[in-house]
Amino acid sequence: MARPTPLSGFPEWLPEGRVVEQHVLDVLRRTFELHGFVGIETRAVEPLDQLLRKGETSKEVYVLSRLQEDPESPDRGGRLGLHFDLTVPFARYVLEHAGHLAFPFRRYQIQKVWRGERPQDGRFREFVQADIDVVGAGELPYHYEVELPLVMAEALGALRDVGLPPVRILVNNRKVAEGFYRGIGLTDVEAVLRSIDKLDKVGGPAVAELLVAEAGASADQAQACLELAAVAGDDESVVDAVRAVADRHGATHPLLDEGLAELGALVRAAAVRAPGVVRAELKIARGLDYYTGSVYETLLVGHEQLGSICSGGRYDTLASDGSSTYPGVGLSIGVSRLVSRLLGAGLVRATRAVPSAVLVAVANEDDRGRSQDVAIALRARGIPVEVAPSAAKFGKQIRHADRRGIPFVWFPGDPAAEDPARVADQVKDIRSGEQVPADAATWQPPAEDLWPRVVPAEG
């Protein structure tokens, strides 16, 4: 077998990179659990017809077939595809298990998803997402739309000390946009949103043309939409700014009032709970059409061109079984995109790539049992340890530890040694070279050496 080459779009980390990814996942999980989110996993596959309910993603789905399956099989309806996000499977999970869940149901879910897209920087075919959602039965109070982005702000903030740049959570509210558009007389709200969504890519004049051509807007209406999209701010003054644009264009609508009250409450709470993190930007549209209230995107400060690393919103009708609907709000972190940038831009590093804090040396193969006894004693007190692979010269065993970043090498003593200095166990810090007598029943490495840590790359 020749040396295999990587598959484009299927990222795989070396051990040190995996230490970083695992740390990110551990921090996210802990934050989510501290906030009472229940961890679930769903199967990787869903029936193809369920995956294709949202038409726009149909190209991205990987379809499964069994190798021996008849390709002419008419059983296309029963075919399975790999999930391309965690929202569709979660909606299905809620419907399937509703009788066993307590609502509002707070869940987090950290899993791989797959999309048959053309790979690009930060865009993969297989990647990890970390989602939180709260789903109600029949109704879901607005305050969850304030709470959830703040949970994500806390989770991402908890990664600051390992080298993650600050984040900026951009928020908007579909009701504000829809109320404003209707208030100035535009009725094809989805067409307006689709045009506004292109603002950053094609610029204002081109969007104005799109609004006229595709959303049936007059030049004045297009101008009004662009003025609304230009509004942004970190505090409640953003509500006044929207009001000013609305007044200028004579826009009034109950949805606009409702949306502004919500957006104001979100910005106000965020200014207290996560100062400087949340910013209202009225141009944020989010392509997916199932959002009905707040929408969120998240940029990494200094890495804005990476795109959003955490997005989501409020949806009223994603899950429904005819008799009940389950409105929800959620956000999803693109973990692979985040980790790929942390590693690729050299922002973080692991203090070592292996768990072991200690390598126990082996004086000769007949004494391996003595080295294992030391390892067992250390592990019993929670210290990660491995035993040297062979009774090579000690210099070689020390290099073995050094190559792995293992900070300590332990030399078991020899109770029968003639030299009294060799009777007791000794442990060497191979960074300083300091070697001291030690007892496996009591010795403790410094806390910062116990496990691999993830630290800023400059640190």
Binding residue ranges for L-histidine: 85-87, 115, 129, 133, 286, 290-291
Residues 408/375, Cβ–Cβ less than 8 Å: no
Of the candidate residues 55, 56, 66, 305, the single one contacting its own copies (CB under 8 A): 66
Q: Is 41 in the site for its own copies (CB under 8 A)?
A: yes
Neighbouring C-beta atoms of residue 137, cutoff 10 Å: 17
Q: How far is the CB of 55 from its own copies (least distance, A)?
A: 12
| Strand 454-456 with 348-350, pairing | antiparallel
Q: Is 36 in the site for its own copies (CB under 8 A)?
A: yes
**Which x/- pattern, by CB under 8 A, does the window 352-371 give for its own copies?**
-xxxx--------x--xx--
Of the candidate residues 23, 90, 114, 292, the single one contacting its own copies (CB under 8 A): 114
Binding residues: 85-87, 115, 129, 133, 286, 290-291
| Residue (47 or 302) nearer to its own copies, CB | 47
Q: Is 74 in the site for its own copies (CB under 8 A)?
A: no
Q: How far is the CB of 6 from its own copies (least distance, A)?
A: 7
Q: How far is the CB of 396 from its own copies (least distance, A)?
A: 13
Q: Is 140 exposed, middle or buried (0-12, 13-18, 19+ CB in 10 A)?
A: buried
Using the contact rule CB under 8 A, the part of the chain among 112-120, 165-173, 238-246, 410-418 near its own copies is 112-120
Residues 124/11, Cβ–Cβ less than 8 Å: yes
Of the candidate residues 6, 55, 77, 420, the single one contacting its own copies (CB under 8 A): 6
Residues between 78 and 107 with contacts to its own copies, criterion CB under 8 A = 80-82, 92-93, 95-98, 100-102, 104, 106-107
- DSSP notation for 167-187: EEEEEEEHHHHHHHHHHTT--
Q: Which residues, in sequence order, are bridge partners of residue 134?
A: 106, 329
Residues 229/195, Cβ–Cβ less than 8 Å: no
Return all residues near 6 (Cβ < 8 A) that are at least 6 apart.
12
Neighbouring C-beta atoms of residue 147, cutoff 10 Å: 18
Q: How far is the CB of 365 from its own copies (least distance, A)?
A: 8
* Distance spanning both ends of the chain, measured CA to CA: 41
Q: Is 54 in the site for its own copies (CB under 8 A)?
A: no
**CB under 8 Å, gap of 24 or more: what pairs does 269-272 form?**
269/146, 269/150, 270/146, 270/149, 270/150, 270/153, 270/169, 270/171, 271/234, 271/235, 271/236
Q: Spell out where 282-400 has E strands.
A: 291-300, 310-320, 325-334, 348-350, 358-360, 385-387
| Residue (25 or 424) nearer to its own copies, CB | 25
Q: Is 37 in the site for its own copies (CB under 8 A)?
A: yes
Q: Is 327 in the site for its own copies (CB under 8 A)?
A: no
List C-alpha distances in Å: 346 to 158, 331, 339, 390.
19, 27, 10, 35
Among 409, 416, 424, which Cα is nearest to 361's? 409
Using the contact rule CB under 8 A, the part of the chain among 213-221, 341-349, 374-382, 437-445 near its own copies is 374-382
| Strand 385-387 with 358-360, pairing | parallel
Q: Is 271 in the site for its own copies (CB under 8 A)?
A: no
Q: Is 5 in the site for its own copies (CB under 8 A)?
A: yes
Q: 15-34 and 335-344 helices cross at what angle (nearest 10)? A: 130
Of the candidate residues 198, 379, 422, 453, the single one contacting its own copies (CB under 8 A): 379
Q: Is 344 in the site for its own copies (CB under 8 A)?
A: no
Distance CA 203, CA 208 (A): 9
Residues between 284 and 323 with contacts to its own copies, criterion CB under 8 A = 319-322
Using the contact rule CB under 8 A, the part of the chain among 32-40, 186-194, 282-290, 408-416 near its own copies is 32-40
Residues between 134 and 173 with contacts to its own copies, criterion CB under 8 A = 136, 141, 143, 147
Residue keyed to tokens 């949970």: 151
Of the candidate residues 382, 395, 415, 420, the single one contacting its own copies (CB under 8 A): 382
Of the candidate residues 24, 27, 40, 189, the single one contacting its own copies (CB under 8 A): 40
Residue keyed to tokens 């067409």: 191
Of the candidate residues 42, 252, 351, 426, the single one contacting its own copies (CB under 8 A): 42
Q: Is 393 in the site for its own copies (CB under 8 A)?
A: no
Q: Is 385 in the site for its own copies (CB under 8 A)?
A: yes
Residues between 394 and 453 with contacts to its own copies, criterion CB under 8 A = 400, 403-404, 451
